[in-house]
């Protein structure tokens, strides 16, 4: 079993914001599997897929970003998952816009959603896929920036980055080694 979690905010008004890159990548992962988000459980919207008979849960927490960890903790407990059976996808202000970076573990950095995941689960040794959102030309506080809509001229770049992040998550769910996935998708 494997869990792919995309972080974001559940309201429609946040759908095209930088902070919803994880939600967009999770939707792309569901599309790659040919499944839809049909269930709600553990404070998350869920899509279920299968790889070789093994279940893959794709989740988008229905809590706000800063409480994302509640849903992740509940899903891990419900399905008795280990950190090695999970990847979290999220936006990262510390990376240039459009860059994708995969890591096997790490800290929350400046991301409150990841801070919540780590605090609620008590673990940090799980895979994460970060989608860079920083635009050097924009100089506003991070808290305001992440809730801005993606500019129309950048939409294609972010669509491509979310798709790459989804492909990387699917590769991990298929059991590919993280170092190989990192080599293929980082950048």
- Among the listed residues 9, 185, 184, the one whose alpha carbon sits nearest the alpha carbon of residue 91: 9
Q: How far is CA 33 from the centre of its chain?
A: 16
Q: Quote the radius of gyration of the chain (alpha carbons, Å).
A: 15
3-state class of 56 per DSSP?
strand
Residue 165: band (very low, low, confident or very high) from pLDDT cuts 50, 70, 90: very high
Angle between helices 21-33 and 155-173 (to 10 degrees): 60
From the candidates 2, 8, 9, 19, give the one annotated as an active-site residue: 19
For 26-57, write each residue's pLDDT tens digit.
Answer: 999 999 999 999 999 999 999 999 999 999 99
| pLDDT value of residue 145 | 87
Provide the percentage of residues in the chain whose pLDDT is more than 70.
100
Write phi, then psi, for 34 (nearest 5 degrees).
75, 30
Q: How far apart are CA 133 and CA 161, in angstroms?
A: 10
| pLDDT value of residue 117 | 97
| Tokens read off for 77 | 């407990």
List Cβ neighbours of 11 (8 Å cut-off, separation of 6 or more): none
Q: How far apart are CA 183 and CA 67, in angstroms?
A: 31
User: Half-sphere exposure (CA, 13 Å, Cβ side) for 24?
Assistant: 25
| pLDDT value of residue 36 | 97
Query: What is the pTM assigned to this prediction?
Result: 0.96
DSSP 140: S
For 83-132, write each residue's pLDDT tens digit.
Answer: 999 999 999 999 999 999 999 999 988 899 999 999 999 999 999 999 99
Q: How far apart are CA 19 and CA 151, in angstroms?
A: 13
| pLDDT value of residue 137 | 80
Q: How far is CA 14 from the centre of its chain?
A: 15
| pLDDT value of residue 170 | 98
Please give the mean pLDDT across all residues of the chain.
Answer: 95
| pLDDT value of residue 139 | 83
Beta bridge partners, 17, equal 149
Catalytic-residue membership of 19: yes
């Amino acid at each position: 079993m494997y869990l792919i979690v995309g972080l974001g905010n559940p309201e429609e008004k946040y759908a095209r914001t930088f902070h919803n890159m994880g939600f967009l990548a999770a939707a792309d992962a569901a599309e790659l599997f040919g499944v839809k988000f049909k269930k709600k459980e553990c404070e998350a919207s869920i899509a279920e897929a299968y790889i070789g008979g093994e279940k893959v849960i794709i989740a988008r927490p229905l809590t706000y970003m800063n409480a994302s960890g509640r849903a992740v903790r509940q899903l891990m407990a419900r399905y008795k998952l280990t950190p090695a059976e999970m990847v979290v996808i999220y936006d990262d202000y510390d990376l240039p816009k459009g860059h994708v970076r995969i890591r096997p573990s790490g800290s929350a950095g400046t991301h409150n959603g990841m801070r919540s995941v780590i605090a609620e689960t008590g673990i940090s040794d799980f895979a994460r896929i970060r989608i860079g959102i920083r635009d050097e030309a924009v100089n506003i506080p991070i808290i305001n920036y992440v809730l801005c809509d993606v500019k129309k001229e950048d939409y294609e770049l972010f669509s491509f980055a979310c798709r790459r992040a989804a492909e990387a998550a699917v590769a991990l769910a298929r059991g590919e080694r993280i170092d190989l996935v990192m080599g293929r998708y980082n950048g």
